[in-house]
Amino acid sequence: MPVTTLERLATRTRRSTVPVALATYVVAALAWLALVLHDPLEYALLGHAGHGGPGVAETVALTHGAVGVGHYLLMWGLMMVAMMYPSSAAAFQWYADRQSRRTDAAPATAALAFVASYTLLWVAVGVVPLAVVAVVPLGALAAAFGPAYLGVALLAVGGFQLSGLKRRALQSCRSPAGFLPPGAEDRRPVRLGWQFGRQDVAACGVLMGLMVAVGSMNLGWMALVTGVLSLERLSADGQRWARWVGYAAVGSGVALVAVAAL
């Protein structure tokens, strides 16, 4: 059975003197724990749950000004850490290992800068759903169109999963050496982390859009999308999994739209 680049990198992690992958998994687990505890704690303190339905979290954030937006971006960042870090750990480790072979580098510091830049890009992406909800009333659309609303969202996801753009972006995520060719170690880690993050956004951004469509920080959908991302990026048949997810999304979308039309 073929082995992906990231699987080989994960095997090397056990021999590394810089346990970046292990730290990444720990941070992802803590992010999941924070998200699980977030709603009960917020309900106890403020009297309302955080995520709700489509557009609710974004609407609450926008109505509370800068404080609300800051809180939303913090929770969005935690969601990205929880969802993206598990399938990115081996790539982070790979970068640290590349740096550890340089005599003039501090691999832990470089890896931290790389991961921080990657993470900040994903946090910045959280501005997009805020802007969308400021213009498009997702909650009202979901209430008005019912199953058809989710069906259209799934059709959009399915179409992207089956597109050439998805295939090319996913290939870059599955083989991080593609964005760091030989001799590129002298580039700043912040720049490289940002570049790797851009590739991830291109490959996974539409799936994150589905999260917004169904309700930000919905733990069930989060777990489902995280599983899809891990299969796509880490398994030997990742491209095939992406297509299968696309077919399933299109089929489900057509079924929901048909039900709504009856």
- The whole domain housing 110 covers 5-261
pLDDT digits 0-9 by tens, 84-139: 999 998 888 888 887 776 655 566 788 889 999 999 999 999 999 999 999 998 88
Place 47 in a pLDDT band, splitting at 50, 70 and 90.
very low
pLDDT at 69: 92
Q: How many CB atoms lie within 10 A of CB 214?
A: 21
Checking if the pLDDT of 16 tops 70, the result is no
Domain count, the chain: 1
Between CA 158 and CA 167 the distance in angstroms is: 13
Find the range with the poorest average confidence among 67-71, 104-108, 158-162: 104-108
Between CA 214 and CA 210 the distance in angstroms is: 6
Across the chain, what does the average pLDDT equal? 82
Checking if the pLDDT of 184 tops 80, the result is no
Between CA 9 and CA 109 the distance in angstroms is: 20
**What are all long-range contacts of 70-78, with beta carbons under 8 Å and residues at least 24 apart?**
72/126, 72/130, 73/123, 73/126, 73/127, 75/35, 75/38, 75/50, 75/216, 75/217, 76/123, 76/125, 76/126, 76/129, 76/216, 76/217, 77/119, 77/122, 77/123, 77/126, 78/31, 78/34, 78/35, 78/38
Checking if the pLDDT of 188 tops 50, the result is yes
Q: What are phi and psi of 52, to 5 degrees?
A: 60, -150
Checking if the pLDDT of 217 tops 70, the result is yes
Rounded mean pLDDT, 197-205: 89
pLDDT at 85: 94
More confident residue, 91 or 44: 91
